[in-house]
Amino acid sequence: MDVLEAAKGRRSTRAFKIQDVPAEIVEKLIEAARWAPSAGNIQPWEFIIVRKPKIKRRLVEATLDQMFIEEAPVVIVVCANEARSSQGYGMRGKTLYCIQDTAAAIQNINLTAYSFGLGTCWVGAFREEEAREILKIPHGIRPVAIVPIGYPAEAPTPRSRKPISQIVHYETF
Ligand SMILES: Cc1cc2nc3c(=O)[nH]c(=O)nc-3n(C[C@H](O)[C@H](O)[C@H](O)COP(=O)(O)O)c2cc1C
């Protein structure tokens, strides 16, 4: 699949079919994620793969009732290892690089999933402490995004984008 086509065609999916997502495909998504760029190649990402309905249900609560998370057969929670990034780059590593690095990994997951005919949604609105407790995430690791993945049961209309003229600056801001 053409990369621009994937970047433009991917949509946030919030309704999923009951159809399962095989483990081999999930592995490919993780494979795509781990090839993302990262500051100093520190690779501060950690992935929690959730399939158990009981855990997904608790994640729904942590996300202020984003029910579609429960519908997805698999959910990947992408975390940033702040401790590892701060060892390399201090405060900038902890507060900026590890978030950028994990964001790149998340988008690799989204685009690769799309290329397999899967839908995903980048869920960032959740109570962090609650997610940490549910998933037993240790100190120094920060959950960044909850990504439900499944075969789409909807074809969302594309949301608008700002025109290029409004966001691009030449030479100086
Ligand atoms: C950092 C971040 C956090 C987001 N959090 C949520 C969320 O909590 N729930 C949700 O339904 N969508 C969430 N989204 C998805 C956005 O709403 C969506 O990407 C945007 O509306 C554009 O639509 P599109 O992805 O279909 O192009 C989030 C996206 C990003 C990048």
Of 107, 121, 146, 160, the one to substitute when testing ligand 1's pocket (max ligand atoms within 8 A of C-beta) is 121
Cα separation, 153 vs 52, in Å, equals 21
* Nearest atom in ligand 1 to 156's CA: 26
Residue at token pair 């994620």: 33
Q: What is the pLDDT of residues 49-105, one digit of tens each?
A: 999 999 999 999 999 999 999 999 999 999 999 999 999 999 999 999 999 999 999
Q: What is the pLDDT of residues 11-37, one digit of tens each?
A: 999 999 999 999 999 999 999 999 999
Q: 59 CB under 6 A from ligand 1?
A: no
Residue 65, CA atoms < 13 Å, CB-side half-sphere: 0
pTM (global) more than 0.85: yes
Q: 102 CB under 6 A from ligand 1?
A: no
pLDDT at 126 over 90: yes
pLDDT at 151 over 90: yes
Residue whose Cα lies nearest atom 22 of ligand 1: it is 159
pLDDT at 1: 83
